[in-house]
Amino acid sequence: MSDYSTYELGDFTLQHGATLRGAHLAYQTYGTINGDASNAIVYPTWYSGRHWDNEWLIGEGMALDPAKYFIVVPNMVGNGLSSSPSNTPPPYDRARFPAVTMYDNVRAQHQLMTERFGVTRLALVTGWSMGAGQTYQWAVSYPEMVARIAPFCGSSVTSEHNKVFLEGVKAALTADEAFRGGWYERPPTTGLRAAARVYAGWGFSQAFYWNRVYRQMGYSSLEDFLVGFWEGFFLDDRDANNLLTMLWTWQNADVGNTPGFDGDTVKALRSITAKAVVMPAEKDLYFPPEDEAWACEHIPDAELRVIPGIWGHFAGGGSNPDDTRFVDQALKELLAS
């Protein structure tokens, strides 16, 4: 897990004006770049995810086969491996870490792909959740470079309802006095656990809980799932300021805010030249299929494929074999086209 590379971004000026000095991206690669550098895939991470959390979709015989493709997983800024509140020295450390947009993340990834690897064309960009948001952003920021995109369980613009869900997570986390406006010396674990409990209702669908599917995941009761899976998730080396940095990126995501589009999301979607397969999950509570159907109306070459079933947002998380097969099959067809 600690086996990854670092790309130095140097003094990286962000869309909202701050300059992150000594910024860096942590990333991992799978497979080998071919002679004409035509087999590269970018597969960004999701909210609080690390590169190793993406590996379930990579493997022999899968669409993302390292024998065929050169797959790069860049860690999102703020996730604790790439530049983050938790690893940035003063004065931009901790609560002073600046606002980072999807556009910033993708610009950093673009620098990595072009300058380190000399890649000028990507066979595919794909990702789950905020990884899907970065996927959309790639297609808007660098249309000449992106041949195909496959965002799953994510969106091109964060809906108002999604923002509200995240407000709840943020409010719970920061209600803990131990958070101290971000200047904690010890983790605000009460707030982290509260945020986990708020998140729990959103991550999986009503039907997932009705059918107690968490038992298949090895949890013995509802409370065991809330503590063992959810609280464990938020306490697993997740720094509170890091979580809030990524939460800001998420709440403010909108491909329309790419320079040149002046806030016009539809115009940005229309500018996408990549062939797109868009995969929301049927019962995703914060990225509902309707929103992605709307996006597909505006992308010139887009196909909507709804992941069926009851796993909700976590249909794209790699825990349910049926959903993994669905996503993998779609990627295979898209890469063959």
Out of 97, 142, 199, 314, name the contact with a copy of itself by CB under 8 A: 199
Does the protein bind a copy of itself through residue 215 (CB under 8 A)?
A: no
The catalytic residue among 24, 51, 110, 313 is 313
Rounded Cα distance, 322 and 306, in Å = 13
Stretch that binds a copy of itself, among 51-59, 86-94, 198-206, 326-334 (CB under 8 A): 198-206
Stretch that binds a copy of itself, among 10-18, 38-46, 49-57, 281-289 (CB under 8 A): 281-289
Does the protein bind a copy of itself through residue 206 (CB under 8 A)?
A: yes
Does the protein bind a copy of itself through residue 201 (CB under 8 A)?
A: yes
Backbone phi, then psi, for 239, in 5-degree steps?
A: -80, 140
Please state the closest distance from residue 169 (CB atom) to a copy of itself, in A.
Answer: 8
Q: Say whether 291 is catalytic.
A: no
Could you tell me whether strands 40-42 and 70-74 are parallel, antiparallel, or unpaired per DSSP bridges?
Answer: parallel
Q: Which residue, among 326, 296, 332, has the nearest Cα to 309 in the 3D structure?
A: 326
Q: Which residue shows structure tokens 């610009």?
A: 107
- Supply the DSSP string of 317-334, one letter for each residue: TT--HHHHHHHHHHHHHH
Ranges within 222-251 binding a copy of itself (CB under 8 A): 222, 226
Backbone phi, then psi, for 321, in 5-degree steps?
A: -50, -40
Out of 24, 193, 238, 313, name the contact with a copy of itself by CB under 8 A: 193
Does the protein bind a copy of itself through residue 105 (CB under 8 A)?
A: no
**Closest to a copy of itself by CB, 30 or 287:** 287
Residue 19: C-alpha distances to residues 7, 15, 174, 221 (Å):
17, 9, 26, 47
The catalytic residue among 83, 84, 129, 155 is 129
Please state the closest distance from residue 134 (CB atom) to a copy of itself, in A.
Answer: 22
The catalytic residue among 53, 176, 239, 284 is 284
Question: What's the half-sphere exposure (Cβ side, CA atoms, 13 Å) at 44?
Answer: 35
Does the protein bind a copy of itself through residue 217 (CB under 8 A)?
A: no
- Supply the DSSP string of 36-58, one letter for each residue: TS--EEE----TT--GGGGGGGB
Q: Which residue shows structure tokens 């990884």?
A: 131
**Closest to a copy of itself by CB, 147 or 285:** 285
**Closest to a copy of itself by CB, 72 or 172:** 172
Please state the closest distance from residue 124 (CB atom) to a copy of itself, in A.
Answer: 29
**What is the DSSP-derived secondary structure letter of residue 98?**
P
Rounded Cα distance, 94 and 296, in Å = 38
Q: Say whether 16 is catalytic.
A: no
Question: Distance between the two ends of the chain, CA-based, in angstroms?
Answer: 33
Does the protein bind a copy of itself through residue 198 (CB under 8 A)?
A: yes
Question: What's the half-sphere exposure (Cβ side, CA atoms, 13 Å) at 75?
Answer: 28
Rounded Cα distance, 228 and 115, in Å = 42
Please state the closest distance from residue 167 (CB atom) to a copy of itself, in A.
Answer: 5
Does the protein bind a copy of itself through residue 298 (CB under 8 A)?
A: no
Site string for a copy of itself, 161-180 (x = CB under 8 A): xxxxx-xx-xxx-xxxxx--
Q: Say whether 284 is catalytic.
A: yes
Q: Report the catalytic residues.
A: 129, 284, 313
Binding site for a copy of itself (CB under 8 A): 159-165, 167-168, 170-172, 174-178, 190-191, 193-194, 197-202, 204-210, 212, 222, 226, 285-286, 288, 290-291
